[in-house]
Chains A and B, each alone.
Chain A
């Protein structure tokens, strides 16, 4: 019976998440897309901090990051740095996005793109293509959740059942409470992750060294395997150029999920405050990375590096600690997959189906939350169960593409002269180059494929924009009230003559 205590703890976490998430939307009309989609823009700074922080910290924290430390060493730290810099993006763009959304009633990134470039097709296209990356991310997290349930139940729960359990749990509260549920469950999951990460990290350190200092671990790494202490790492695949460009492409990737989360804030100030403190959340990665370094000595022949922390907990730690790690990993996986499912349902409904089927707002509102079921049943569950090797490729393409949407954002906040043709062809060119340099000729000169894509994208974006007609004066006035006269200055006399 004792061996099932970790499993019982893991399942208890799921029960608490359902209760919290289900009751988050009490007394609210969730058939309203605004209410279900962005929680009526009602979240304060603490909720925003945990919402964005826990959303950013995925199953990778408890599986991938110790796994990378175990197999590569310090290159894993690029994740800590890029997550930190992504907080700058939230801090700078978040309040601006929120203000635009509130003023002009955009809920999603695609809606803002449609509005700025006067093209519903461009918005719909952005919605569909960026959803590839977002859904691939949700699938990876669901696979991680199913793996945890399988390990914690000692194989009693097969992967396919684990997939349906984790998606089933998410669907209950996501359908009922929308972004409110994500906010409340992420607050709980975020707190749990912070505690579990330090607890497990310090426990493993004490077990390995007899104390709580990390120094003896790294003294030994330095003496026995110094290549783990510096770039390019033990596998020799992360030099300084690749480190830098991987960080840069992450900064340029503004996810649909982030956009919608920013919309859920109750004010610009809440986003700014939350984002200012956001980097501190990512300290959660450090103890788990240390666990990965310890694993190098404890499991020299481990087949799958990603399982190093779980393996260590199950083999050497008290059942309660192992159970907490199971719950923490599951929390990390679920807190990252649920915003992806939510954002995809919301964007498909508002940006693709509503314009296509001429739905009114009431119909779109009703269908928005119902869409989570077909997305889960027909896309996420089957692909998660198949666990295709190509999933990582889909994700890579998705990441590459999300980064390619950055010029569209530049045209929204910095450059009134940007046009829909420039945005479309830039996006297209950048996407092709990213795919080419991801798979056919990987990362030339050690520069990340996404950065090559972005260089081509930006050049095409600017060139084609200068050759084509900008958006109407009325639209430019809404997005760039202080620059509209400058853009149309030469047109003004012409228009006046025509008027005569």
Chain B
């Protein structure tokens, strides 16, 4: 009796998974410390500007994966 997990089975599937992990990392531990300073960008604290960027980047990545058919 095998106990394997379902994983992506195409190159596009793996690329899609990689992109999702990438965008989650952008909003968490490895990246946030790099931006944790008092800089003001576009009139807002850098973390606020970054949050807005993440909003649009996440939407873009989901749109892109829909486009390439990476996740059925």
| Contacts from A to B (Cβ < 8 Å) | 74, 77, 80-81, 84-85, 87-88, 91-92, 213-215, 218-219, 221-222, 226, 229-231, 240-241, 243-244, 247-248, 251, 272, 275-280, 282-283, 286, 289, 413-415, 417, 465-466, 470, 480, 483, 486-491
Contact = CB atoms under 8 A, between A and B. Distances in A.
Contacts, number: 124
A231 B36 contact: yes
A465 B5 CA distance: 13
B43 A215 contact: yes
Contacts of B55: 80, 84, 279-280, 282-283
Contacts of B24: 85, 88, 251
B40 A276 contact: no
Given A230-B37, A240-B33, A276-B59, A466 B28 contact: no
Contacts of A91: 62
Interface in B16-48: 20, 23-24, 27-29, 32-33, 36-38, 40, 43-45, 47-48
B54 interface: yes
Contacts of B51: 77, 80-81, 84, 286
Given A218-B45, A241-B29, A280 B59 contact: yes
A84 B50 CA distance: 12
B32 A213 contact: no
B15 interface: no
A467 to B, nearest CB: 11
B45 A229 contact: yes
A240 B36 contact: yes
B27 to A, nearest CB: 4
B28 A414 contact: no
Given A283-B55, A465-B3, 14 more contacts: A77-B48, A84-B55, A84-B58, A87-B58, A88-B20, A214-B44, A215-B44, A229-B37, A230-B47, A241-B29, A248-B28, A283-B52, A413-B6, A487-B3
Given A244-B29, A480-B6, A279 B1 contact: no
A415 B6 CA distance: 6
Contacts of B52: 80, 283, 286
A170 to B, nearest CB: 30
Contacts of A417: 1-4
A74 B45 contact: yes
A85 B27 contact: yes
Contacts of B54: 80-81, 84, 279
B69 to A, nearest CB: 11
Given A80-B51, A487-B1, A88 B38 contact: no
Nearest to A410: B5
Contacts of A74: 45, 47-48
A219 B45 CA distance: 9
A466 B1 CA distance: 10
A470 B29 CA distance: 37
A226 B28 CA distance: 22
Q: For B3, B20, B52, which residue has the most chain A Cβ atoms within 10 angstroms?
A: B3
A214 B43 contact: yes
B63 interface: yes
B71 to A, nearest CB: 7
Contact of B4 (A85, A231, A275, A483): A483
Contacts of B4: 417, 483, 486
Q: Is the interface of A mostly helix, strand, loop or mixed?
A: helix
Top 5 nearest A-B pairs (CB, nearest first) are: A215-B43, A417-B3, A244-B28, A244-B29, A81-B27
Given A276-B63, A289-B48, A414 B5 contact: yes
Contacts of B71: 92
B2 A486 contact: yes
27 contacts: A77-B48, A80-B51, A80-B52, A81-B28, A84-B27, A88-B20, A91-B62, A215-B43, A218-B45, A219-B40, A229-B38, A229-B47, A230-B36, A230-B47, A240-B32, A241-B29, A247-B27, A277-B59, A283-B52, A286-B48, A414-B6, A415-B3, A483-B4, A483-B6, A487-B3, A490-B1, A491-B1
B57 to A, nearest CB: 9
Contacts of A222: 38, 40, 45
B1 A488 contact: yes
Nearest to A241: B29
B2 A489 contact: yes
A272 B66 contact: yes
A414 B13 CA distance: 14
Given A84-B54, A229-B38, A240 B47 contact: no
A226 B58 contact: no
A218 B43 contact: yes
Nearest to B62: A276
Contacts of A229: 37-38, 45, 47
A84 B40 CA distance: 22
Nearest to B3: A417
B59 to A, nearest CB: 5
B62 A88 contact: yes
Contacts of B66: 272, 276
